[in-house]
Structure formats: C-alpha cells, structure tokens
Amino acid sequence: MTIAQITLHQPRRLVVGAGTIAEVGAWAADAQSILVIATPITAGFVDRLKLKGRVAVFDAIPGEPDIATLNAALETARQQKPDLIVGLGGGSVLDVAKLVAVLWNSEQTLADVAGPNRVAGRGTRLVQVATTAGTGSEAGIRSLITDPEKGNKIAVESPHMIADLAILDPELTYSVPPAVTAATGVDAMAHCVEAFTNRRAHPMIDGFARMGFRLVGKYLARAVKDGTDTEAREGMMLASYYGGICLGPVNTAAGHAIAYPLGTRLGLPHGLANAIIFPYVLAFNQTVAADKTAEVAQALGLGDTLTARELLSAARGFCRNLGIEMSLAAHGAKMDDLPLYASEAHSNRRLMDNNPIDMSVEDVLGIYKAAF
Ligand SMILES: [Fe+2]
C-alpha cells in the first residue's frame, strides 16, 4: 500500500506548563503595539501575559464568532496598528485572532481568503494562548467563522495563520466549569478519533491521535471532578493540542458534519454538539475500522470485543458519566427539524467524504433520531 504524502504545520515555539502564560511578555519584549483578542472572561488573564508596550483588548467574542464579530475585531486592529496579536481564549477567540492577524492590514477580505491556501501573507506576529482544552486551534492553520445568512461555516486555511508562539498553561483552565470541561474534552477526543479512523488517515497523524485519546481516557474524568488538578488539566490541554494537529492534514469526518447543524441551527456549543454525536459515529464506523475502533474503546475503558450496540451504549455511558446531557430533546431540539439538519449535515461533503464508510441522509437522520 502506498501512503499519501503529508504536510504538517506546527507553531514555531510551543511552551507547556503551569504559569507559562507569563513567558509571553518576555518573548515579545520588543512589541510596541499589542492587540489582545479575548472574551469578557478571558480578558481577566491579560495581566498575566506580562506585556510591555501599548495594549488594546478586544473582548467581544461570542461562543460562535460570525462575520460581524470578525469585522468588529478588524476595526479595532486598524485603530491599534499592532505589531503583535495575542489570541487569549478558546477556539472561537483563537480562530478570530488568526484571521485578524492576516487581514487587518491586507487588501484581502474574508471572501477572498475562504478555502485553502488563499491568504497572501502575514506581517504581524501571532501568539496563541489557549484557555480551554477542546478545539486545539492553537496548534493549527484553520479558522472557522459562521456565516449567519447561509447558516454554515466559512473555513479559511493557510500556513500564514500558524502561531509564532503557542502557550498551554493548565492554570488558565482551572475555572472552566465541569460541564464545559466534559463537552470540550470529548470534542478534543473526537478530533483525534475522527482523524484516526478517517479515509485520509496517515500513520504520522495516527501517532498524535493515539496520544490524544489515551490522554482523554486517563485524564478527562479527573479534570471534570477537580478543576484544579494540574496534571489532569495539563493532560487535557495536550490532548486538545494533539487533536488540533489531527485537524490539520487529516481533519474530522461524519461526527463533526452531523454536529454542525446542532451549532448553527440549534445553537448548541460546538463541544457539546460533538459530544452528543460522538458515540453514534464511533459505533457506525466500527464495521470498517474495527481494529482502530477497538483501540479507542480500550483507551477509554469501554471494554474489549464489543458489538456495535454495546460500543454505542458504553460510549454514551462514558459521556453521561462525565455529566453530559446526551438527549437532543432535552437541549430543545424539535423532531420536525431533524430532516433539515440531516440534509445539511449530509451535504457537508468537505467532512462527510472523509468518513471511512459512506453515510446516507437516512443514516444521518437515524443518528439524530436515536440521539433525540
Ligand atoms: Fe470539534
């Protein structure tokens, strides 16, 4: 079998450990004008960056950033004229920071750069400081922005969006509530697992995926139980980072495609939407990815030699034991809306075509109904 060639981009420098957020100021000691992109909550960490220079903070980033959010952040950047941009937050913040870094002083618009490899360049340094363990956005070169008119996500991908410095400081995740820790932790695992069982899976990325889902099996329950368990929090940040690496050259598959309408239509947070769907796609793909699925099941402590039904039940139990409400109805979904979700998810060929086995619209609808 010939193995496809692969290209991997990673941050130029990665710093991991408790208290490492303070390294940003020393690393960027020469920065004159700095724009920090944050949320109202993560803006509370700005002092810990130990920045010198003139600092502006843009903190109006909602859970799912849209085009208007990006435009507001670009406006702030054009006033600040930064020589350093710091993303300080979860995936939404880090995704906006990437786009602001390449667009604020460019002739290009979001429409110009949508898709792979269309960004002309970047002249502003970019630091990404993760404050959640989920998206792994700090590791990669992709950014997702919601288009409210079309109800879908615009994906921009470019090596020019890689961080010069990424920071994984577990202390920044201490205050993430248990429910968010659980859902985003399962999302991080889904990035690893969907890349691992992917039609475009690659041995090098498989290695990162294994490290990621094993860390989730070892540490997620501990991080949910005690938010200040530094070892568990650091393990989950690494799992998230490895998941982010998996997203680059291989990406996710049916699980994320099916979760998207739950975000764009139903308004569920990305991590929660993926946690609800994850067990169904794991079980659905088992027939064509038996060995790899067994590896995942073992790492999560779900058991050995499971039938698809047993695997589904055990994976749902894994999520429920973390405190995740797994019923779509309980999250306000309406049975009548499921066919629309199913057709939207099925038409997301960017991700669906990565799935190791084809899924029909009826298969997708069946998963929504089973999760209802
Ligand atoms: Fe995700």
Residue-wise pLDDT tens digits, 129-163:
999 999 999 999 999 998 888 877 899 999 999 99
pLDDT for res 295:
98
Count CA within 13 A, CB hemisphere, residue 216: 35
Tell me, in angstroms, the distance from the centre of ligand 1 to residue 359's CA.
Answer: 19
| Angle at CA of residue 59, ends 96 and 322, nearest 5° | 75
Mean pLDDT of the chain: 96
- Residue 2 domain-assigned? no
Tell me, in angstroms, the distance from the centre of ligand 1 to residue 36's CA.
Answer: 24
Distance of CA 1 to the CA centre of its chain: 31
How many domains, in total, are found in the chain?
2
Looking at residues 224-245, what average pLDDT do you find?
A: 98
Tell me, in angstroms, the distance from the centre of ligand 1 to residue 183's CA.
Answer: 10
How far is CA 319 from each of CA 274, 289, 342, 360, rounded to the nearest angstrom? 11, 21, 23, 26
Domain boundary at 173, 193, 208, which?
Answer: 173
Tell me, in angstroms, the distance from the centre of ligand 1 to residue 72's CA.
Answer: 25
Tell me, in angstroms, the distance from the centre of ligand 1 to residue 135's CA.
Answer: 6
Question: What residues pair up with 298 in beta bridges, in sequence order?
Answer: none
Domain shared by 138 and 223, yes or no = no
Tell me, in angstroms, the distance from the centre of ligand 1 to residue 191's CA.
Answer: 6
Evaluate if residue 246 carries a pLDDT over 70: yes
pLDDT for res 257:
96
Residue 248 — left, alpha, or beta (φ > 0 → left; ψ -120 to 50 → alpha)? alpha
Tell me, in angstroms, the distance from the centre of ligand 1 to residue 303's CA.
Answer: 25
Tell me, in angstroms, the distance from the centre of ligand 1 to residue 339's CA.
Answer: 22
Q: How large a percentage of the chain has pLDDT more than 90?
A: 93
Sheet with 115-116, strands from edge to edge, namely 115-116, 152-157, 142-147
pLDDT for res 153:
83
- Give this prediction's pTM: 0.95
Domain shared by 204 and 326, yes or no = yes
**DSSP 3-state assignment of 90?**
coil
Domain that holds residue 160: 13-173
> How far apart are the C-alpha atoms of 292 and 144, rounded to whole Å?
28
Looking at residues 218-232, what average pLDDT do you find?
A: 98
Tell me, in angstroms, the distance from the centre of ligand 1 to residue 232's CA.
Answer: 20
Determine how many CB atoms are found less than 10 A away from the CB of residue 47. Answer: 11
Tell me, in angstroms, the distance from the centre of ligand 1 to residue 270's CA.
Answer: 6
Tell me, in angstroms, the distance from the centre of ligand 1 to residue 80's CA.
Answer: 32
Evaluate if residue 1 carries a pLDDT over 60: no
Tell me, in angstroms, the distance from the centre of ligand 1 to residue 194's CA.
Answer: 10
Domain shared by 189 and 146, yes or no = no
- Residue 1 domain-assigned? no
Tell me, in angstroms, the distance from the centre of ligand 1 to residue 42's CA.
Answer: 20
Evaluate if residue 63 carries a pLDDT over 80: no
Domain shared by 126 and 236, yes or no = no
Q: How large a percentage of the chain has pLDDT more than 70?
A: 99
Domain boundary at 146, 173, 200, which?
Answer: 173
The CATH number of residue 38's host domain is 3.40.50.1970
Tell me, in angstroms, the distance from the centre of ligand 1 to residue 354's CA.
Answer: 15
pLDDT for res 2:
65
Q: What is the pLDDT of residues 21-51, one digit of tens each?
A: 999 999 999 999 999 999 999 999 999 999 9
Q: What is the pLDDT of residues 326-348, one digit of tens each?
A: 999 999 999 999 999 999 999 99
pLDDT for res 148:
84
Tell me, in angstroms, the distance from the centre of ligand 1 to residue 365's CA.
Answer: 20
Q: What is the pLDDT of residues 343-371, one digit of tens each?
A: 999 999 989 999 999 999 999 999 999 99
Q: What is the pLDDT of residues 194-223, one digit of tens each?
A: 999 999 999 999 999 999 999 999 999 999
Tell me, in angstroms, the distance from the centre of ligand 1 to residue 56's CA.
Answer: 29
Tell me, in angstroms, the distance from the centre of ligand 1 to residue 15's CA.
Answer: 23
- Residue 342 domain-assigned? yes
